[in-house]
A and B are shown apart, each in its own frame.
Chain A
Amino acid sequence: MGFASVYMSLKAQLSSGSLGYAVFFFGLYLVAHVVARFAVPQADPYLLPIAGLLTAVGLTEIYRLGPRDAFRQGFWIVIGVAVFAVALFALRRDYRALEAYKYLWGIGAIVLLFLPLVPGFGEQINGARLWVHVGSLQFQPGELGKIALIVFLAAYLREKREVLAQGRLKDWGPLLVIWGGAMLVLFATDDLGSALLYYGIFLGMLYVATARLAFVAGALGLFLVGAVAVYQGTPHVRDRVLNWIHPWTTHKIYCPTSGGLAFRQDCQSYQEVQSLYSIAHGGFGGTGLGSGTFTTATGHQVIPDLNTDFIYSALAQELGLVGAAALLLVYMGFTLRGFRIALAASDGFSKLLAAGLSFGFALQTFVIVGGILRVIPLTGITLPFVSYGGSSIVSNFLVVAGLMLVSHRANREPT
């Protein structure tokens, strides 16, 4: 913890030149650490420092890209830590009380996902309806919906896992209904990335609960059918897939934004392609923090959404292969700690909860970074802890809180 905090503060200081910033966040983590020591003394000691390290890397890069955004991000980190502290305190005796309200969580998840579709409340950004705004604050309720869904699935699958394995429709009912609803909402919001993420979490948890790969395969097949339907019906999704398969064209094609003809790399796939250029420019050692190239000679930003969806391409350019690989190793470390907690937990709900949170964390990283690296089609979701975005920061701190609660319990009562 101490090492991580010092490292973090050094980095923040290096780039921002603002010692105050570093001291403030160092203090913030100290507070979070003390709260954790007090509320869940037996919890895994690595998760919070890793989260601290990742938020520090993210904050540093966000500061480098635009100091004003860094201030807002800092504000959200404070909120995130506060939510983390409240969650730890509220649930420190027995978080398994959550299990009792499982349908409430299920419905809550659906409501949160539906919120952006409410007229006058939701907002469409980059072709996807993901945002709600209250006053000047924008919020992505889907991020919190993800946590609610994991809690619901953990509770429901724990209760029904034996009967589910028998495959009676009656027991599948609530699960399918809630899941179908969630998918519907996601397709309605045109957000393939979140659909992929949530469905992946569902499959992972279903497999852990039932140990039946056939279910997973069947569900995967259903998803593919749905995905093809969406591909046919939604130009937004079709573009994303075409940008993935053929980001460069040798002939000019129709460009909807300009209305004329252009190479795909100059129009639809512009951000994907420039993001790859950004990563390639970093090479092995990177350009160094603060020395990367993100704007044209006339001062325009080359890649849009650089501090949210594309923050990985910014980091990969400035830190190079060495830094990017190190960052990915940190994500692996967090995921492995999470699964370790799931293994150590004594009851099914705890195991499923920790597994869902850990797998969700890894999958979210894969979906966004894999999209940037052209491993899968690009879908705009956030990189946990690093991307700019309040809802993402808060929900990821809830992930840490959940995992720490589970590990505290597991370590207190060894099986």
Chain B
Amino acid sequence: MNKQLVRLAVASMVLLTALVVATTYWQSWAVAGLTDRQDNAIQQVAQLSIARGAIVGANGTTKFAVNKKKRVAGQTFYTRRYPQAGLLAQVVGYSTSGGTRTGLEQSLNDYLTGANTNLSNAFQSTLDRLGGGTVHGNRVDLTIRPVAQRIALRDLAGRCGAVVAMNPQTGAIYVMASSPTYDQNLISQPNGYAKILKIRGQCGDASALVNNATAGLYTPGSTFKLVTTAAALDTGTYTPNSRFYDPGYCVEYGKKVYNSSAPDSPSAHETFGNVNLSQALQHSINAVYCKIGMHLGAKTILDYAKRFGFYSTPPLETPSSERGPSGLYAYVNGRQRLYWPKDFNAVDAGRLAFGQERMEATPLQMLLVAATIANGGVVPRPYLVQRIVGPDGSVVSSTRPQTLGRAIKEQTAQEETQMMVSVVQGGTGGAAAIPGVQVAGKTGTAETSQNHVYNAWFVAFAPADNPRVAVAVVVEKQPNGFGGSIAAPIAKDVMEALLGG
């Protein structure tokens, strides 16, 4: 009988060992998958009992996200509040008690809840938990300058669009405003989400929840001439003094492509006659760029666009689903799809050269173009988070400026800078001029599907000799609204605020 007893004992041990194995599975391998599930009621409450870290502006005093303490049934819960309602809504995003998160609240959730893998941090939060105390998350210090951010949003008010500004030498984002915006505090209110969905600017289907600066696709129009100019100069095909004759139009596929109409007489098309490349940029002459585009070819232009960051999603701390790449877009099955041409002859290089022809760009991408020229031809890596500070005040991580590689030669960047200065001094961008500061800029007035309704663009940086700020502005669907009249003044306001501060 003893042999059977031993076997039965072994069988019992196998059963109990299976329990140890199963427990190990659920408490280690399965944890990540279970934690993210929407129906995880335990996790929802556990998240509520964590004091999420604050999200703070570059001045250290403007708080974009804080906690509200609440005691329910003997337990302390923390809910999120957004004191700067709507000021940086799409970037900061929101975090609900139901576990839905967007923006930095989503992508930095591990840091904000103190769950990041940093050893001393993990140790501290384990101690907090074991001691029965509250787990405190890390504070996130942004590079955002609240004063300039507020000015940008004020200037956009009532219209749709975006303003992005950065330090071109470091990549630190100073301003990232998207309009229309929404009050994140609405999310936790009854019917709040429905109310947010109802917010519309004057631009139809635009949602307040979308970060136009990183996910909004706009035809770049003449601001794209900066890329074409970079290709023209960098390849050595042209110099700023290359001569052109402008008859007022350019012939493509046997058809005349006209210059844009003069601001003072919308019916007549501008004609400039003999000009050089610098003047062509200064006055944004489509006919000249059309010729350059046909000469360079679509492939060269798109290759240079790629060097500036087109065709890849610019890196940033926000969730990648809230950012998008720029480039040529085609409608496939009713959806906009990015494509790289298989046959470059099928791309209208002349229209591409002045930023039409299915070219779509995010404001952040156009900012990177301006910032690259300002930064001597090297693309700065954009970032929003300056540092992450632990609950004990120690710095958990700190962002060091990085680059995304060289796009153009330094000489090309210098020549282009001078050309952009001329745009503001006596060109289409005069409205961006700041007394005592040399501003380099470029206007853009992109055609939309409606006649005489434009997307107004302006990209700029200043001071031209030692750029400390670069900015990109887009204002959607402006009837007879030009980049120089609508967007340039906003860029000026934002740059002034940033240079003054």
A residues neighboring B (CB under 8 Å): 204, 207-209, 211, 248, 263, 265-266, 273-274, 276-285, 287-288, 290-291, 293-299, 302, 316-317, 320-321, 324-325, 328-329, 331-332, 335-336, 339, 342-343, 348, 351, 355, 358-359, 362-363, 365-366, 369-370, 373-375
Contact = CB atoms under 8 A, between A and B. Distances in A.
B27 A324 contact: yes
Given A276-B26, A328-B20, A366-B18, A297 B5 contact: no
Nearest to B49: A293
B4 A291 contact: no
Contact of B34 (A276, A351, A366): A276
B13 interface: yes
B41 A302 contact: yes
B13 A295 contact: no
A363 B23 contact: no
Given A366-B15, A373-B19, A296 B9 contact: no
9 contacts: A208-B4, A211-B3, A294-B42, A316-B23, A343-B5, A366-B15, A370-B18, A373-B25, A375-B18
A280 B77 CA distance: 21
Among B9, B11, B43, B72, max chain A CB count under 10 A is at: B9
A302 B8 contact: no
B72 A335 contact: no
Given A211-B3, A280-B26, A375-B22, 10 more contacts: A204-B11, A207-B7, A276-B30, A277-B41, A293-B49, A295-B73, A296-B45, A316-B23, A325-B24, A343-B5
Given A279-B26, A281-B43, A295-B45, A332 B18 contact: no
A321 B1 contact: no
Interface in B88-132: 97, 126, 129-132
A300 to B, nearest CB: 9
Interface of B: 1-9, 11-13, 15-20, 22-28, 30-31, 34-35, 37, 39-46, 48-49, 72-73, 75, 77, 97, 126, 129-132
A296 B41 contact: yes
Contact of B42 (A281, A288, A358): A281
A8 B9 CA distance: 28
B132 A298 contact: no
A290 B133 CA distance: 11
The dominant DSSP class at the B interface is helix
Contacts of B23: 279, 316, 321, 324-325, 328, 373
A207 B25 CA distance: 32
B12 A370 contact: no
B19 A297 contact: no
Contacts of A342: 5
Given A277-B37, A291-B130, A374 B8 contact: no
A360 to B, nearest CB: 10
B70 to A, nearest CB: 9
Among B13, B42, B49, max chain A CB count under 10 A is at: B42
Contacts of A374: 22
A348 B4 CA distance: 12
Contacts of B132: 288, 290-291
B22 to A, nearest CB: 4
Given A293-B42, A325-B20, A335 B9 contact: yes
Contacts of A365: 16, 19
A321 B28 contact: yes
B34 A277 contact: yes
B18 A302 contact: no
Contact of A274 (B25, B41, B75, B130): B41
A325 to B, nearest CB: 5
Nearest to B131: A288
A59 B22 CA distance: 25
A320 B73 CA distance: 25
A282 B18 CA distance: 19
B42 A332 contact: no
B35 A375 contact: no
A211 B17 CA distance: 24
Nearest to B26: A279
B342 to A, nearest CB: 37
Contact of A284 (B28, B34, B41): B28
A302 B42 contact: yes
Contacts of B48: 297
A317 B26 CA distance: 11
Contact of A299 (B5, B17, B72): B72
A283 B30 CA distance: 10
B41 A373 contact: no
B42 A277 contact: yes
A297 B45 contact: yes
A287 B27 CA distance: 12
Among A329, A331, A362, max chain B CB count under 10 A is at: A362
Among B3, B15, B24, max chain A CB count under 10 A is at: B15
A284 B16 contact: no
Contact of A373 (B3, B9, B11, B22): B22
A262 to B, nearest CB: 10
Contact of A280 (B5, B16, B18, B35): B35
A287 B24 CA distance: 16
B169 to A, nearest CB: 43
A325 B13 CA distance: 13
Nearest to B31: A280
A339 B12 CA distance: 10
A282 B35 CA distance: 11
Contacts of A296: 41, 44-45
Contacts of B8: 204, 207-208, 339, 355, 359
A335 B46 contact: no
Nearest to A282: B27
Contacts of B49: 293
Contacts of B131: 288
B45 A362 contact: no
B9 to A, nearest CB: 4
B130 A283 contact: no
Contacts of B25: 373
Given A299-B72, A336-B9, A280 B27 contact: yes
A311 B129 CA distance: 21
A278 B30 CA distance: 12
Contact of B13 (A248, A280, A291, A336): A336
B77 to A, nearest CB: 6
A207 B97 CA distance: 55
Contacts of B22: 370, 373-375
Contacts of B73: 295, 298-299
Contact of B27 (A290, A291, A320, A335): A320
Nearest to A211: B4
B75 to A, nearest CB: 7
A197 to B, nearest CB: 12
A309 to B, nearest CB: 15
Nearest to B33: A280
Nearest to A317: B42
A211 to B, nearest CB: 5
A332 B48 CA distance: 38
Contacts of B30: 276, 280
Nearest to A339: B9
Contact of B72 (A274, A297, A316, A366): A297
B27 A332 contact: no
Contact of A263 (B39, B44, B129): B39
Contacts of B20: 325, 328-329
Contacts of B45: 293, 295-297, 302
Contacts of A359: 8, 12
A290 B132 CA distance: 7
B12 A363 contact: yes
Contacts of A325: 20, 23-24
A283 B29 CA distance: 10
Among B3, B97, B126, max chain A CB count under 10 A is at: B126
Contacts of B26: 276, 279-280, 316, 373
Contacts of A280: 26-27, 30-31, 34-35
B16 to A, nearest CB: 5
